[in-house]
Structure 1
Amino acid sequence: MIPYTKEANAEAENETDIQEADINDLYNEELKSHLKWYDHVLLNRPLKVILVTLLLAIAAPALMYQFLFFTSIEHAPNDGFSLGSCVVPRVSRLPCGLGNVTQEECHPLCCYDLNSHACFHRYPSRFSYIIDRYIWKEWSEEVIMYPRVLNVPFSYQNSTPRLRLSIDEVSSSHMSLYFYNAETMSYEGNKIEHKNYTHHVDTPEMTVTVEGSQGLIFSTIRGPFIASRDIWEIAFKLTNETMYGIGELPLTAGTVKVLYRHRGDFSTIPLIFAKMNDSYHGLLIDSDAPTEVFVHEENQVVLRSITNEGLKLHVFVGPKPSDVMRDAMTVIGVNKQLDYWMLGAHICSDSATAPDEALSDLRAFMSSAASASLPFDSHCGSAPIVFDSDCEGNQLVEEAAAVVKTAGKRFVPQVSPYIRYHELNETSEKNETSNETEMLTTNESCKDIISEYKQYILHDNSTEGNYTSDVYVGLIGEETFVYPIFENASNEFMKELWPYEVEVDGVILENNWPLDESVKSNETSLHLPYFSKNLEQVFEITPKWNAEYYNDTTKYFYKHNKYGSHVVSAFKNLFETEVPMWSTSSWMDGNVNINRQNIHASWTNLRKELVEAALGGVSGHWLWSVPVCGDSNTFDPETQTSLCVKWYMAATYMPLIKIHSSSIPTHPLAFTGTNRNLMLRALKKRLSLLPYFYTTLQSGPLLRPMFYQFPSSEHLKDLNTQFSVGDDLVIVPNLLPSQTHVHFWIPPGVWYELWGGLRIEGEEGDVVSMTTIEADFLTFIRGGAVLILQKDVTTSAEDTRMSADFSLTIALDCETNHTLSQSSSVDSNCLAAGTLYISRKLSLVFEADEQQLNIKAIGHFEEMCGDNAKVAHLIKDISIYGLDDEYNNYDHHRQVMVSIDLCDLQNATEIMYPFIFENNVSK
């Protein structure tokens, strides 16, 4: 080995390395000079990680959007309008068509969610109506609107080609929106100058908005508007806060209601109250056709109506719930026909016994009721009246009426508006000598009632042949019936239908939606483009959808909702004198009393009936009747007697009440011991409160939701566990078995327990837990009220009113800054006031403080004083709440025995009665 060789080689290697390094540096410098900006990104590992993350964050949703919602890439629509997005939060999605369908069945202009298998509308929806921008620059009532999509997501039917919108400015707080088929009708709305709202119709894609002083109170939210044969759909929104109505308190997401009169239906009009910014507005759905109301998340409301004509909506500005009610009553009418006896209990029964036995049972009941001093004012007789084509039972009705009237009670029969149908047996039908009339009835005396008035009988268009085969025959229980048509029914027909020589004091029209329990085929969905499970359920208990009026090809279901109102009108024209009418089915008619029917006995239904009655009253139906303990055959006296007792207590505060016994009696005489006593006590307590009820019902509803009575209280708005009774009382019912405590949310003002005078301590919205008992509802009276009672009740409302002396409960309010009337001689910070309505000719006004009572009269005294007096005129005692303890002679109040003759007001302008002296001795 040569020494130094290694060193020489090392030096050579070092030199080579240096040369290569120089070359690499030169290369790198040259390379850097040619690098682009994206090379720096791609060659930088941290930047690559950031870039990939950003790409995933952006691309992934886009890819999901593409592959989850679309079957193909879409381009902007060629009509130049909005594309609409499918990226809609699930809570905001509105079903497109049936909603839960396969992807193939989902309309191509809708969106589809592969996970939930839901077909839903874009936002904005492509199913809308547009205005031709080249012809119309802005909307007016003459504008014709055209469908943006030529077919709808319901059986791919053609859209209605020409549509108009009419806006009627009814008053300063009430307007209506009428969307209608421009090819079949024309309508022009009224315009006024001064109003508390503004409305706007956006173009070219129709969007309707209404604004009040509180903000946006109605908007079609750029949702779907669909119009086609037998299906119209509209979506709208009233508020971002709370809604109430159509039987729900509050009205929550997931609620579905069918506006088609049927058994178990809610009885009031479809009025929705909406809260916004400490005020209230409302919307009334004015649609005669079968209509579904869906409440979706975020307060989106969707209407689907089986109609060909259109949709009409009334918008009420408010700002108070009472303003909404007042405007709604301008649409439905006002029932002012309230006789005092109507506030008493009405007793009825569905006897399953033979006619003679039923009449004997009625006599026995009347005798027992007199012995037990059962308080009631009217009775329906031995059994409900069902018209019969062979005239059986006429004499029985008249004899039953005589029994009721002999006992000193009013006769108010129940009537089902059908005709029992008799057909000959199979052998007789084969007899060639049988004629038409023999096939219709078996009694010669009235064999022509159907054939002679065939124009007033519902017909079945599914059969062919002569009249005897095409009359529509329905089934109720095990009996067959035909259905009279009461629209424009002649007096001759009505008199033939009502052959009874008897004077009635009122009529209860039951089952008049009407009822038909016959089995229907499943073909309805084949003929209608939209027929949901909800509709199917109600169509099963009503006449067949395609039945027809005589010589009228219009299908029956278009007129079904008005059937009950037509029955009411026909019966009103039947009698020579006007008598009050109760009706189970009423559509946009505030001129009748509501008769709740087919109510099962349960704790849940008891609470529900309180809610229904409260909402019904503030919707315009003030005279509302509820069957005590229900009226179905499901009542079980062994397990539900305590429930029935509680129902009687709830009935104390109902506008009108009916004790309706089906196969099992629920009147108090059917019970014994303590239960009977509690029921009788509840009925008597009701009689003692009737002066206040009668006064209240002259100007407003009796039972009221808390949001209605205290609209400014945020704490009370959603309560359905306590209710206002007029302006001055609040009840807190205990509606659970063996419940020992209730929670009372204190309303604004001062409140006392009604019967003892205990003052409730706390501020507005505070929750007070109070002990309750099975024998009563907790009831509170407002400080500042004077309540007029009649404690010594008798056996009827009328007799009590005439013979029982008055008692006053004065609940003083010592915390409010009072403004005294100029004529008042009271000089105090503790005041109370109240009114007693006697008749249209006379009212009494009471004012009090802690020292004296002032009474004035407005009107004339014919009905209170004199030979024809119908009302008591003496005050015998006064209870005063709110005094300092040193002035009380009971635990929480002072009671003063007095003798005040109200007839003294005939000769004086005022009665002044001092009831406390400085020495604390009552006069």
Structure 2
Amino acid sequence: MIPHINESQNDFDEIDLKYQHQVKKVKWHHRILLNRPLKVIVVLSLVAVVAPLLVYQFCFFTSISLPPSDGYSVGSCLIPRTMRLACGVGSMSEEECHPHCCYDRNLNMCFHRLPSRFSYIMNQPWNENTILQPRIATVPYSFQNSRTKIKLSIDEVSATHMTLTIYDSRNMSFVGNRIYNKDYTYEISSPELNIVVNATQGTIFDTSRGPLIASDNIWEISFKLTNETMYGFGEIPLKLDTTKIIYSRDSELNSIPLIFSKVNGSFHGLLVDINDPTEIYIRPDKQIVVRSITNFGFKLHLFTGPKPQKIMQDVMKITGRNKNWEYWTLGIHICNEVPGLNLTDFISAARAMPYDSHCGNRPIVFNSNQCKDSEISNINTVNEGANLVRSASKKFVPHVSPYIRYIEEDNNEIINATTTQAVNEVIESCKIIPKFEDLMYHLDNFELYKGNIDGYDVVYPEYDLNSTELLDNLWAYDTEFDGLVLENNWPLDVANKTFNGTDLLLPYFNKNFEEAFEHTPQWNLTLVNSTSLYLFKHNQYGNSFASAFRKKVINKPISSSSLFLNGRFAVNRQNVNTSWTDLHKELMAIALGGISGSWLWSSPICGDTNNFNPDNHANLCVKWYLAATYLPLIKIHSKDTPRHPLAFNGTRRAIITGALNRRLGLLPYYYTTLQEGPLLRPMFYQFPESKSLHDINTQFSVGESLIMIPNLQPFQSHVHMWLPPGTWYELWSGLKLKGKEGDPVTLATNEGDFFTAIRGGSILFIKKEATLTAEDTRLTIPFSTIIALECINGNENCHASGKLYVTPNMTLFFEATERNLTLTAEGHDFDPICDWFGGSWTPDLEFFYIYGLADEHNNYDNYRYVSKFTDLCFLMNDDELVVDFLS
């Protein structure tokens, strides 16, 4: 029998139960090892700390390296891939990457630390005489030596304009000006150089401790202008992650390197004043990187604004202003190069077509035997064409290129000379080039360089202000000309290029530069007795050619391609493709060019390249003609296929002719506007306080009173107008547009329409009809006025104002209410209006269109039409003239 206890366990007292056990102390690390949650936390902490260090070491460093021993900033490699700045050429092997840069093994990319170790240092607080020394002895480009003695100069030009110049001080020295009252402050950090410029709106320039590199044929700097929007280089707004090249060529002829930046609703600007080939990269983080093939350095102009108009005014003090233009230059210019197109036949067929000037039989190209007429030099052909144009009462405006064809004098064949002596013999026999030594030569053997254009060998003289004798001899034509269009002067050369030796002379050279150099003379040419490569002079070639002609013809209007920071000439746009996208690009480029200081820009209607197809592009051409109504200058340049109005039929020709006539009618307003500012303007320029309009690039202000809303898509049936502040009316019907500032208003349109609005408070002096030229229209057609009233409290207290520029010594002013128009004159130069035989303006004011009246005062749907003859010559004796609308 199994023994058992009779009493229940519950009967025992707990304190009577005694256990035999031994208590031991548990150490701290055992607690960690035996505590599962704590183990997880410890492991995760170690991973969080060690893993980044391992990634940092083995994924970003090119090698195991210690912090720099110089005591300056270490710099981090932990930079998001989208924010990395290429160190050197960027894509390379790990061995090629500079040891002071970072390397991404996955992308094979070498990039700068942040902050970069490639900086300059000083051993004292900065002043104009401080020598800056490189922190790193070599640069990421071919491991060249860093420039050891560079300086920073700051010139306080005015209260709103300062200049930063970073340059090699071995052969030059600059001392900046100082002024007391200015709208900016700047801070130059030491011992590591960093530049920060502040204005009333905030920070407007900051190098952000990015790289500053200076070495032979490569300088690099990075900076930031804003965290907001930028505009420039033909783009509204400026696109991020894009690269721009400053090197005159067939695709980028006149982009002024000016960037408008926005900070806190205000604007400031930066102008890149670098003559040498330069690459400007707009990064996704809005940092700007400038790399230049230069040995001078950088010159950057900063403008505080705070309005775009003030920036433009400051820029024009640098670039100058074109003052050699006349009223007729705002008309229509035509040039035909179509094979088989006879000028006599064209002039006969175009008797009823409005145009003002023509280039003659063909553009002018200089030849080595200009002193003798030949099949190629065509001296007689040019003279005959000029006479035909003048006999049709049009202006003769030839197109001229800067290069010279070489032709054997005896048999009119191209010279096949292999030595300078052979060419000199031909030149001597013709005796036309007194400065023949100023031509381009190969650097390696100093043989004469011959480019190729249209299958001909050509050479390139260097033009300067002493080239008058050269031009006199080259100009072998008997006829006078009324103006000039200088073209192909980047200059053009379609010969095959070689880029051998770029690795020896150009440590930084990429596809962007190769494409830019493609249709220009060989990059490594030189002049006799010159050690400077051609590429360093290339960007100034167009300026030199234009300036040489200006000295030859002082008072004639000149339009030129390839101008660099030169607003003293009208701009000739070239090589524009025929597409809807290119039409939009042209409008943006002209608008930005105008507010950058070049007010007179021409645009080839329907483009001027060989991609024009009359069947596919007919509707686009009609829209381009309608857009040209509102451009500063226009030209119709037909090369392989006609695109002048006579090339179209039926309704299309009627619409095109009507657009050209409408342009001639608007010229009094354009002529007045261009005395004080650009014609075509972006919205952010005209309405800087309307933030909702800043990024709009589908409508443009035309002066202060008009807005044009183009059709930029095929078969577009409507457009959207984003309303600026104030009251707006449809220009030709007087329909009042309803909405608040910034609201989009949808407006119907069609293939033959181009919507235009007029600002309330404006008076527009126009010609409702037109004759065959701008000057005839101005002289013979009576004035009409469109009065767009701005009314307060309904239709009470309405007003409008405007003016008409007549001569530098007289301007007419107009003030209107809902009841009358009052005219006054400032100045007393009435001869252009009132001289019956020698005048240039009609004195007749006859037709009035008043918008904004109450319905009971209108005699048309949306406006009141009044016809009252008024002689402006009465202002010679009376202080004012008053026209009553309601009587």
Q: Same fold (TM over 0.5)?
A: yes
Question: Counterparts in 2 of 1:903-918, with a 5 A limit?
Answer: 903-916=873-886
Secondary structure, aligned partner of 2:619 = helix
Residue 694 (1) aligns with residue 671 (2): yes
Amino acid at match of 2:40: V
Change (3 A) 1:423 1:19: farther
Amino acid at match of 2:866: V
Task: Return the alpha-carbon distance in structure 2 between the equivalents of residues 866 and 276 of structure 1.
Answer: 53
Change (3 A) 1:297 1:515: same
Question: Counterparts in 2 of 1:402-417, with a 5 A limit?
Answer: 402-417=387-402
Match of 2:115 in 1: 124
Q: Following TM superposition, by how much is the alpha carbon of 1:439 offset from its aligned partner in structure 2, in angstroms?
A: 4.7
Change (3 A) 1:435 1:195: closer
Secondary structure, aligned partner of 1:913 = strand
Q: Following TM superposition, by how much is the alpha carbon of 1:54 offset from its aligned partner in structure 2, in angstroms?
A: 2.4
Change (3 A) 1:441 1:628: farther
Secondary structure, aligned partner of 1:686 = helix
Root-mean-square deviation (Å): 2.3
Task: Return the alpha-carbon distance in structure 1 between the equivalents of residues 200 and 264 of structure 2.
Answer: 10
Task: Return the alpha-carbon distance in structure 2 between the equivalents of residues 388 and 255 of structure 1.
Answer: 41
Q: Following TM superposition, by how much is the alpha carbon of 1:6 offset from its aligned partner in structure 2, in angstroms?
A: 11
Change (3 A) 1:431 1:581: closer
Q: Following TM superposition, by how much is the alpha carbon of 1:549 offset from its aligned partner in structure 2, in angstroms?
A: 1.6
Q: Following TM superposition, by how much is the alpha carbon of 1:95 offset from its aligned partner in structure 2, in angstroms?
A: 1.1
Task: Return the alpha-carbon distance in structure 1 between the equivalents of residues 229 and 415 of structure 2.
Answer: 65
For 1:490-543, what per-residue CA distance to the aligned partner results, in whole angstroms no more than 9, with x for missing partners? Answer: 332221121222211111110001111111113143231010100001112111
Task: Return the alpha-carbon distance in structure 2 between the equivalents of residues 850 and 831 of structure 1.
Answer: 7
Task: Return the alpha-carbon distance in structure 2 between the equivalents of residues 796 and 109 of structure 1.
Answer: 67
Task: Return the alpha-carbon distance in structure 1 between the equivalents of residues 742 and 99 of structure 2.
Answer: 52
Residue 301 (1) aligns with residue 315 (2): no
Contact 2:62 2:99 in 1 (8 A): no
For 1:469-496, what per-residue CA distance to the aligned partner results, in whole angstroms no more than 9, with x for missing partners? Answer: x111001121110001102433322211
Match of 2:12 in 1: none
Amino acid at match of 1:754: L
For 1:309-330, what per-residue CA distance to the aligned partner results, in whole angstroms no more than 9, with x for missing partners? Answer: 1110000000000011111111
Secondary structure, aligned partner of 2:734 = coil
Task: Return the alpha-carbon distance in structure 2 between the equivalents of residues 4 and 497 of structure 1.
Answer: 139
1:115 to 106, 130, 153: 106
Residue-pair matches, total: 868
Contact 2:139 2:215 in 1 (8 A): yes
Contact 1:524 1:545 in 2 (8 A): no
For 1:2-25, what per-residue CA distance to the aligned partner results, in whole angstroms no more than 9, with x for missing partners? Answer: x78999xxxxxxxxxx9996333x
Question: Counterparts in 2 of 1:335-484, with a 5 A limit?
Answer: 335-353=322-340, 361-370=342-351, 373-391=352-370, 392-422=377-407, 439=423, 446=430, 448-449=431-432, 452-463=434-445, 470-484=447-461
Q: Following TM superposition, by how much is the alpha carbon of 1:53 offset from its aligned partner in structure 2, in angstroms?
A: 2.2
Q: Normalised by the size of structure 2, how large is the TM-score?
A: 0.95
Contact 2:403 2:458 in 1 (8 A): yes
Task: Return the alpha-carbon distance in structure 1 between the equivalents of residues 656 and 697 of structure 2.
Answer: 24
Question: Counterparts in 2 of 1:886-901, with a 5 A limit?
Answer: 886-901=856-871
Question: Counterparts in 2 of 1:648-727, with a 5 A limit?
Answer: 648-727=625-704
Amino acid at match of 1:123: L
Residue 48 (1) aligns with residue 31 (2): no
Contact 2:161 2:302 in 1 (8 A): yes
Task: Return the alpha-carbon distance in structure 2 between the equivalents of residues 816 and 543 of structure 1.
Answer: 66
Residue 862 (1) aligns with residue 859 (2): no
Contact 1:423 1:439 in 2 (8 A): no
Contact 2:324 2:555 in 1 (8 A): no
Match of 1:731 in 2: 708
Change (3 A) 1:815 1:116: farther
Contact 2:492 2:521 in 1 (8 A): yes
Match of 1:521 in 2: 498
Change (3 A) 1:46 1:21: farther
Amino acid at match of 2:632: P
Q: Following TM superposition, by how much is the alpha carbon of 1:260 offset from its aligned partner in structure 2, in angstroms?
A: 0.5
Amino acid at match of 2:725: P
Amino acid at match of 2:543: S
For 1:229-272, what per-residue CA distance to the aligned partner results, in whole angstroms no more than 9, with x for missing partners? Answer: 00000001100100000111111212211100000105132000
Contact 1:421 1:440 in 2 (8 A): no
Q: Following TM superposition, by how much is the alpha carbon of 1:202 offset from its aligned partner in structure 2, in angstroms?
A: 0.5
Secondary structure, aligned partner of 2:88 = coil
Share of identical aligned residues, percent? 50
Q: Following TM superposition, by how much is the alpha carbon of 1:92 offset from its aligned partner in structure 2, in angstroms?
A: 2.1
Amino acid at match of 1:421: Y
Match of 2:803 in 1: 835
Amino acid at match of 2:86: P
Amino acid at match of 1:278: G
Contact 2:308 2:685 in 1 (8 A): yes
Task: Return the alpha-carbon distance in structure 2 between the equivalents of residues 439 and 233 of structure 1.
Answer: 42
Q: Following TM superposition, by how much is the alpha carbon of 1:394 offset from its aligned partner in structure 2, in angstroms?
A: 1.6
Q: Following TM superposition, by how much is the alpha carbon of 1:429 offset from its aligned partner in structure 2, in angstroms?
A: 12
Match of 2:374 in 1: none
Amino acid at match of 2:46: L
Which region of structure 1 is more displaced relative to structure 2, 737-746 or 485-494?
485-494
Structure 2: gaps (5+ residues): 6-15, 371-376
2:734 to 757, 760, 767: 757
Amino acid at match of 2:112: H
Change (3 A) 1:437 1:848: same
For 1:305-352, what per-residue CA distance to the aligned partner results, in whole angstroms no more than 9, with x for missing partners? Answer: 000111100000000000111111111111122310000000001243
Q: Following TM superposition, by how much is the alpha carbon of 1:180 offset from its aligned partner in structure 2, in angstroms?
A: 0.3
Residue 545 (1) aligns with residue 523 (2): yes
Task: Return the alpha-carbon distance in structure 2 between the equivalents of residues 429 and 497 of structure 1.
Answer: 17
Amino acid at match of 1:863: P
Task: Return the alpha-carbon distance in structure 1 between the equivalents of residues 424 and 862 of structure 2.
Answer: 72
Question: Counterparts in 2 of 1:45-194, with a 5 A limit?
Answer: 45-132=36-123, 136=124, 138-194=125-181
Q: Normalised by the size of structure 1, how large is the TM-score?
A: 0.91
Amino acid at match of 2:802: G
Task: Return the alpha-carbon distance in structure 2 between the equivalents of residues 677 and 255 of structure 1.
Answer: 42
Residue 813 (1) aligns with residue 795 (2): no
Contact 1:422 1:440 in 2 (8 A): no
Match of 2:816 in 1: 848
Q: Following TM superposition, by how much is the alpha carbon of 1:900 offset from its aligned partner in structure 2, in angstroms?
A: 1.1
Task: Return the alpha-carbon distance in structure 2 between the equivalents of residues 270 and 435 of structure 1.
Answer: 40
Task: Return the alpha-carbon distance in structure 1 between the equivalents of residues 745 and 414 of structure 2.
Answer: 73
Secondary structure, aligned partner of 1:734 = coil
1:605 to 542, 561, 582: 582
Task: Return the alpha-carbon distance in structure 1 between the equivalents of residues 667 and 82 of structure 2.
Answer: 48
Contact 2:734 2:862 in 1 (8 A): yes
Contact 1:828 1:849 in 2 (8 A): no
Q: Following TM superposition, by how much is the alpha carbon of 1:64 offset from its aligned partner in structure 2, in angstroms?
A: 1.7
Secondary structure, aligned partner of 1:878 = strand
Secondary structure, aligned partner of 1:23 = coil
For 1:839-876, what per-residue CA distance to the aligned partner results, in whole angstroms no more than 9, with x for missing partners? Answer: 10111111111111111111121111123211011111
Q: Following TM superposition, by how much is the alpha carbon of 1:436 offset from its aligned partner in structure 2, in angstroms?
A: 6.8
Task: Return the alpha-carbon distance in structure 1 between the equivalents of residues 441 and 421 of structure 2.
Answer: 17
Secondary structure, aligned partner of 1:693 = helix
Task: Return the alpha-carbon distance in structure 2 between the equivalents of residues 67 and 262 of structure 1.
Answer: 45
Secondary structure, aligned partner of 1:298 = coil
Contact 1:421 1:441 in 2 (8 A): no
For 1:21-48, what per-residue CA distance to the aligned partner results, in whole angstroms no more than 9, with x for missing partners? Answer: 6333x2x2xx24xx23x44333211111
Match of 1:10 in 2: none
Q: Following TM superposition, by how much is the alpha carbon of 1:443 offset from its aligned partner in structure 2, in angstroms?
A: 8.6
Contact 2:240 2:284 in 1 (8 A): yes
Task: Return the alpha-carbon distance in structure 1 between the equivalents of residues 347 and 421 of structure 2.
Answer: 41
For 1:878-913, what per-residue CA distance to the aligned partner results, in whole angstroms no more than 9, with x for missing partners? Answer: 111111111111111111111111111111101112
Contact 1:694 1:837 in 2 (8 A): yes
Amino acid at match of 1:843: T
Which region of structure 1 is more displaced relative to structure 2, 404-413 or 85-94?
85-94
For 1:211-243, what per-residue CA distance to the aligned partner results, in whole angstroms no more than 9, with x for missing partners? Answer: 100000001111110000000000011001000
